[in-house]
Structure 1
């Protein structure tokens, strides 16, 4: 009798949502993406100090995104077969080295090399971090992924503030303060990694047969459906990433050109876009648990299209409320796409996470090169107008397979 009650208690613990772990991993995600945010935050400074063109700035975005993204599915595939908790700390050490390099790079090529280290650190962290979230989520996958992604999105939203208050006053060398972010992340991970290791050991026990017997596994998709669903999902995230790259990396230059704003005041709209994305990420994940993943993905990309089309044509006073609403809607599907991919590929958490948050966003980095090069050739104003058409591709989300979730 006591054995049964103890077993039931252990089962409740295993299936419950462990918020302390979710908040810890979300905090590390915040610190990790804050380090990545140092890179776009430095763009106005690097443009002057290293005499960079907009195309070269696009190459910087491409380098960090591609380094992170191409390796994320590889790391995810490896960690699906052999999860390795210490890789979380190794990734942070790699990012720390990149921060030092960015602060003291005297040339464009050395800057790119330093950016590669930051990308490597991010590539290692994201699939393993997403696996920790999966274990700690219990039955609230959308909420858990939102808590995790909110940390990352909030870290990204700090870029305009860092530009205004750190890099414009301190210059390129101010990037060395990013090492403190890495040190804080390592300190938190020293508490998370032991829990993660113990969870992996418990998962190695013959619990899987119980879950199968209890009917907790979703019905399997056909290989054809999985391939089609992933292709459509990656295409949608790809389009969203191109548009987000246009806003986060180049909209500040659009504002300076069209409205005559200073580099400092041009950061306000970028910050509003990103902080709205943080709120949207959390709300979208919560709503997806109730209304479904596919509906939220459709809403997040297609629903943003009218605001995206309006944005380049507005007077300055209207830019701020519209870009806030745009950021909220666009990012409301951010965490949902990860959960959708994980449910599309049950048992391949790392691979699904790596594909969605990695490879597709790397293709968004390719968009940074395209947008930057086009802006140099045709002018930033015309290019931002063309970029505003990208969210219309969100209508393709109607073709996604209907999700199948655990009962």
Structure 2
């Protein structure tokens, strides 16, 4: 049993390394966009279009790449997507023509879109169902850590070498892609199973049950992105120093990562429904306190909101995977992709509201979205949020037996 768990965690670390690296490249982009805009004399609209090209390609392609991962596995897709992302992100700093810049951002986004569902689906299959929330939360935090580290590396690298310093990031991505490929072969991970394909053909997608899960994901992402985007602008307008509102944004994001990790651990111990409903219900007063009481206290209320808002990320991801049996990659692609794109779309909608009523009132308004998300929780079938009703994978060595090629004939 101990050997099987060690094997599973070694495999999970493999996919976490890939997730960390691909999101590290994503974290470079905001700094790269700003410096490239200065170099090529681009306006804010152009910067927004660049961000949209990357975000749309990354998020909307994930269900498609999830299908590819379910059908053919991820032994090639995972390392190729990482190498692809590293090549095109590294090339962005060298491009001098705006039209090519948009194309490069779109192509770079496809690499990110390809890795996320294959990484999440394979990480999920490495553990039995009773530990899946924990595995998904740890896997998710590895990407968040890479994304948070990206701007720091970009500030140093581009500050010394300029935007063309992006090329210096290429060896990292290629070396991790090679390491990922070798590790997948060694651990026999990322292989499709006949059992999964047969289950996918036999069991239809429960779209009616999946819809409330998607609603929770989309509304939660909208609110979190709105807070992270507009809290710094709000405190700038209030006259606070950049060091304060920069720290505030970091506190909210870091607390979200901590909440994701703790939420996954708790979900496997006290139940997914308790974590999902409880965290969303508590996030509403936390957001009201954050928006209603501006000042230094925001560091505390922002941390509380961030942790509670993101505590249920692993729960919704696992719920979607259960609702699409045999299609874990597609489920992961839907949840990760739609959450990402909704956050990107919701931020400008909140911004438009803020232009009319002010940022404080706009953030207070977003608490109503959490209330709708909380209501949607009651439409999710109870058995989907209960590990006891899902038969655990046979044997303690699920990390191996779910992916070994000789098991395809079972």
Q: Does 1:190 align with 2:181?
A: yes
Say whether 1:231 aligns with 2:216: no
Cα distance between partner residues in 1 of 2:301 and 2:95 = 37
Q: Aligned match of 2:128 in 107, 131, 138?
A: 138
Contact 2:69 2:329 in 1 (8 A): yes
List aligned pairs for 1:364-403, cutoff 5 A: 364-372=343-351, 380=359, 383-396=362-375, 397-402=377-382, 403=384
2:93 is aligned with 1:103: yes
CA deviation profile, 1:203-228 (whole Å, cap 9, x unmatched): 45x8999xxxxxxx9xx9986xx222
What's the offset of the Cα at 1:260? 3.5
Post-superposition shift, 1:46? 6.2
Deviation of the 1:192 alpha carbon: 2.8
2:74 touches 2:190 (CA, 8 Å); kept in 1? no
Offset, 1:78: 2.4
Counterpart contact for 2:259–2:310, Cα < 8 Å: yes
Distance 2:123 2:89 in 1: 26
> Deviation at 1:87?
1.1
1:295–1:44 CA distance, 2 compared to 1 (3 A): farther
State how far apart, in whole Å, the 1-side matches of 2:355 and 2:211 are: 32
Taking the aligned partners of 2:59 and 2:224, their CA distance within structure 1 comes to: 16
- Quote the residue 1:83 is aligned against: 73
The corresponding residue for 1:116 is 106
Change over 3 Å in CA distance of 1:121–1:389 after alignment to 2: same
Q: Kindly report which structure 2 residues correspond to 1:155-166, keeping only aligned pairs within 5 A, or say none.
A: 155-158=146-149, 161-162=152-153
1:247 equivalent to 2:232? Answer: no
| Map of 1:147 onto structure 2 | 138
Q: Which moved more, 1:144-153 or 1:253-262?
A: 253-262
* Inter-partner Cα distance in structure 1 for 2:300 and 2:122: 36
Bigger mean CA offset, 386-395 vs 299-308: 386-395
How far apart in 2 are the matches of 1:384 and 1:169? 38
Shift of the alpha carbon at 1:284? Answer: 1.1
301-310 or 171-180, which deviates more: 171-180
Partner of 1:357: 336
Aligned with 1:200: secondary structure? coil
Q: Please say if 1:260 is aligned against 2:240.
A: yes
Aligned to 1:5: none
C-alpha spacing 1:95/1:160, structure 2 compared with 1 (3 Å): closer
Q: Look up the match of 2:257.
A: 278
CA distance in structure 2 between the aligned counterparts of 1:207 and 1:337, rounded to whole angstroms: 21
How far apart, in 1, do the equivalents of 2:182 and 2:334 lie?
27
- Change over 3 Å in CA distance of 1:383–1:198 after alignment to 2: closer
Instruction: Give the gaps of 5 or more residues in structure 1.
Output: 1-8, 210-216
Displacement, 1:183?
3.1
Instruction: Please state how far the C-alpha of 1:60 moved relative to its aligned partner.
Output: 4.2
Number of paired residues? 382
SS in 1 for 2:296: helix
Change (3 A) 1:82 1:183: closer
Deviates more, 1:237-246 or 1:298-307: 298-307
Give the deviation of 1:330 after TM superposition: 1.2
> 1:200 maps to which residue?
191
Once residues 245 and 190 of structure 2 are traced to their aligned partners in structure 1, the CA distance between those partners, rounded to angstroms, is: 46
Aligned residues of 2:226 and 2:347 also touching (Cα < 8 A): yes
TM-score (norm 1): 0.81
| 1:160–1:270 Cα contact (<8 Å) kept | no
Q: Quote how far apart the aligned CAs of 1:104 are.
A: 3.5
Alignment-derived partner of residue 314 in structure 1: 293
Q: CA RMSD in A?
A: 3.4
